[in-house]
Every structure is written in structure tokens, then in C-alpha cells.
Structure 1
């Protein structure tokens, strides 16, 4: 239960997220555009083949460096667009979990004593989770600070309970929306599809988008739910490990129901 001061863990997480949700999608998009461009210009294709055959090493490395840089920039903006799309759709059609439902579920699973202990241990959470925001959705802004508090607490003080895996998966899903469109267009162009083939390909892409967005919306709510639940579980486990009773000596705030 000691604090995790390993800065390399945070750096490793950032690098993993960047590789999986920025570089990889960006590389797919850049490669798709490159294949499309080369397929449209036979002279360019012959020039590239000639350069490779002649062993133009310095030029080849320059192209690789440019491709990696472009992949990062394109992937970064592609992921940002994916997040905008997911957030916009989530405001209208996303999961509708509320603070009240969250508290009732955690109390049902872990007990009212565990909830009260967590609220006593973390006063910063009382206004958001034990106050008048019962009808607020878990994804709404009033809960953002409480969510970040829980996320940082778990990452530093209870790393075995952190939610970094969910954060990684959300980033990957949001970063994959634009590459799916790019690959779909490339497949259609390379196969020289008829109008019916384009309709089928577009339907397949839309189905993939629906699966990606649906899962991203669910994971965004699960991320917040697990952050709050794991902080409650952490407080209960700390109390159990010290042999102290779960019931706090003074009520932390409004009574739970």
C-alpha cells in the first residue's frame, strides 16, 4: 500500500499510449495515403524503386524520418478528432449512469461502511459524490475534478488498483476512427469497386465505427466508475490491513441511502 514513486512507470505509460494511439494510427493513415499516391503515378513508383535499387541510403533514412514525424502529427490530430466525435456522440446517446446510481451500486457491493470510510478519508470527494449531485451523469464536468483526484490517487498510492489499462484502450479506440476510414477508402480505390461495392464497403466501415464508438463510450463510463469504486475499495483495504474498524468515528457528511 506504499506510494509508488517510480516515475519511469508514468513515462512508460505515456510512451505506450503515444505508440498505440498516435504513432500506429498515424502510420496507417500515412501509409494509406502513400499507397494511393504511388498507385496514381507510375513515374513516382519507378523513381522510388530506382532509388532503392541504387542504394540511396541517406535519402532513404530521410524519408523514414519524415514518415515517422508525419505519422506522429497525423496520428495526433486523428486521435483528437476521434475524441471529439466520441464526446459529441456521448452527450446525446452515451451511457446515462449517474452519481446516485454509482453510490447505490458501490454501497450494495462493498457496504455502506466502506463508502463512509472513503468519504472520511478523502474529504475532496464529499462535495461531488456525497452531496447534491445525485442526478449528475458520471461523464459530466462537475465530476471531472473528483475523477482526476481518484485517478491520480490510484496511480500513486494504489498502483495495483489503477485504471491505466482502460485509459490506454480508450485512446486506442479514439485513435482508430480515422485510420478505419482511410483504409476503407484505400481498399475501395485499389479494388476499383462498383457503386454497389462502395456501398458495401461504406456499410462495413460504418459498422466498424459503430463498434468502436460504442465500446469507447462504455469504457469512458467504466473508467470513471472504476476510479471511484477502486478508491472506496482502497480505503476499505487500508482499514482492514491496520485492523481498524471500517466505521468512521464521525459522520463524513450526508447519510448514504
Structure 2
């Protein structure tokens, strides 16, 4: 019974995470882009449609709202994919290339003996460590990670934490990466909207362009940093989980006197 309840709790957590991720990294930026496009259209085109919507019935307003949500979801999904594509192109450049040396760093941190014990507990990781060569960067997969030995290690660590050690999960980092990546397109449309707030002026266009570039630079640098951090944290947290489980197993039970002694 406890195993069924545990599985149900894990499934509920996964579903909650998926829903929150879709709302924050797909629907919200998509609706934002739709609103930005509508604002731009209202400032540059005939505003009769906007005025007519202001006098529409409740039913029409509801249909429009549902249409905005539906279109926003599709637009948001495309925006997030475009954002990850930009990130993947950046990571092909040598200065931004994603290098994962988490295993080496952890082995140096805890020592070869403790790290060897850790690998004995997780034979799949041990098998990856023993490979003489990488699996090969054959294709792009979810999140535009490269399919390699380091990626396989990252997937294993993240899956273990989600299923067996939710307290060590790196879901928050994954959410942050998705949310930040999905903001790249809305930032661009926001800059375009800034140029039509008033009559087009050269200084306003320059200001909007500079603002967009600065925000893009900040967001992209954060995404690149978090993608490296996510891999490190997943393997480190797996090692922490292993160490804490061993510590709990090796703890001696408290003496009877410390627990109040046997009942009279």
C-alpha cells in the first residue's frame, strides 16, 4: 500500500511540475507575445477592430479570450523552441561551449575511494565512467542537449533524484532555464512596441534596440550558466543522496536510556 501511495505522490509531483512549467515557460510568454503584437497593431493600423471589441458581448469576449489562450500556447511553444535554438547555436561557439566535468570535479572533491563507492552503488554510472570514448554527439535532443556520455550521466542523475530523492531534485533549475529561454522572443517584441509608444523617433529606436540587446545578453548568460550548473547539481545531489543514505544506515540506534527506557 505504501508503495502505491509513493508512486501516486511521485506521479502527482511530476504532473504538477509539468503543468507549472507549461504555464510559466509556454503559455505566459505566448500570451505576452500575442498582447505585444496586438498593441503594435493597435498603434500602427486601423483601430476599428479594437474599438469594436470594446463593445462586444460577454460571449464574444469569452471566445476572444479562449482564442488568445490557444494561440498564446502555440506561440509560446514556438518561442521557447526558438530560444533553445539560439542557446544551442551559442554553445557551438568555443567560448560558450557546454563542458561537463562534473564527474572529475566530484572525484577530486570527495576523493577516489568515496567516489568509487558511489559508483558501486550506481553501476550505470560506473559503466559510463569506464567507457573509453564518448557515445558521439549524434543528434540534438530535448532542451537541445547533445547526446553524449555526459548527457546520459546527467539524465540518470536527474531521473534518480526525481523518483527517489525529490528533496534533491534540480527541477527548480530546469524551470528557470525554460522560463528564461522563453523570454527571448517577448523581449524582442517588447522592444519593437517601445518604438511605437509615441511617434517614431530615432533616439527611441536606438534606446529600444540597446535595451533589447542588454536584456538578451543578461538572459543568455544566465541560461548558459544555469545549464552548466544543472548538470553539476544533478550529479552532486545524487552523491549527497548516496552519502546521506549511508550515514543513516550506519547511525547507531540511541540507547534505551536516551529514549526514556522501556515502559514500566
Residues 161-217 of structure 1: per-residue CA shift (max 9 Å, x gap): 110000000000110000000111011122334223212210110110011011101
User: How many Å separate the matches in 1 of 2:220 and 2:156?
Assistant: 26
User: How many Å separate the matches in 2 of 1:163 and 1:83?
Assistant: 19
Aligned to 1:189, the other structure's residue is in SS state: coil
Shift of 1:131: 4.3
User: Equivalent of 1:97, from 76, 96, 99?
Assistant: 99
Aligned to 1:191, the other structure's residue is in SS state: coil
1:44 aligns with 2:55: no
2:78 paired residue number: 77
1:228 aligns with 2:239: no
The more displaced of 125-134 and 168-177 is 125-134
Shift of 1:160: 0.7
User: How many Å separate the matches in 2 of 1:140 and 1:23?
Assistant: 26
User: How many Å separate the matches in 2 of 1:130 and 1:178?
Assistant: 42
Structure 1 stretches of 4+ with a deviation exceeding 6 A read none
2:193 paired residue number: 186
Assess if the C-alpha contact under 8 Å between 1:114 and 1:236 holds in 2.
no
1:109 paired residue number: 109
Q: What 5-or-longer segments of structure 2 have no aligned partner?
A: 138-144, 252-264
The verdict on how the C-alpha distance between 1:233 and 1:129 changes in structure 2, with shifts beyond 3 A counting, is farther
User: How many Å separate the matches in 1 of 2:171 and 2:114?
Assistant: 23
Residues 119-162 of structure 1: per-residue CA shift (max 9 Å, x gap): 1011111243454459x99x642122221111110011111111
How many pairs align? 235
TM-score, normalised by the number of residues in structure 1: 0.84
Provide the aligned C-alpha RMSD in A.
Answer: 2.2
The verdict on how the C-alpha distance between 1:240 and 1:113 changes in structure 2, with shifts beyond 3 A counting, is farther
Shift of 1:109: 3.0
User: How many Å separate the matches in 2 of 1:83 and 1:114?
Assistant: 37
The verdict on how the C-alpha distance between 1:49 and 1:103 changes in structure 2, with shifts beyond 3 A counting, is closer
Assess if the C-alpha contact under 8 Å between 2:103 and 2:235 holds in 1.
no
Assess if the C-alpha contact under 8 Å between 1:119 and 1:125 holds in 2.
yes
Assess if the C-alpha contact under 8 Å between 1:95 and 1:218 holds in 2.
no
User: How many Å separate the matches in 2 of 1:32 and 1:96?
Assistant: 33
Query: What does residue range 51-70 of structure 1 map to in structure 2 within 5 Å?
Result: 51=56, 56-70=57-71
Shift of 1:117: 1.6
The more displaced of 143-152 and 106-115 is 106-115
Shift of 1:95: 5.2
Aligned to 1:192, the other structure's residue is in SS state: coil
Shift of 1:96: 5.1
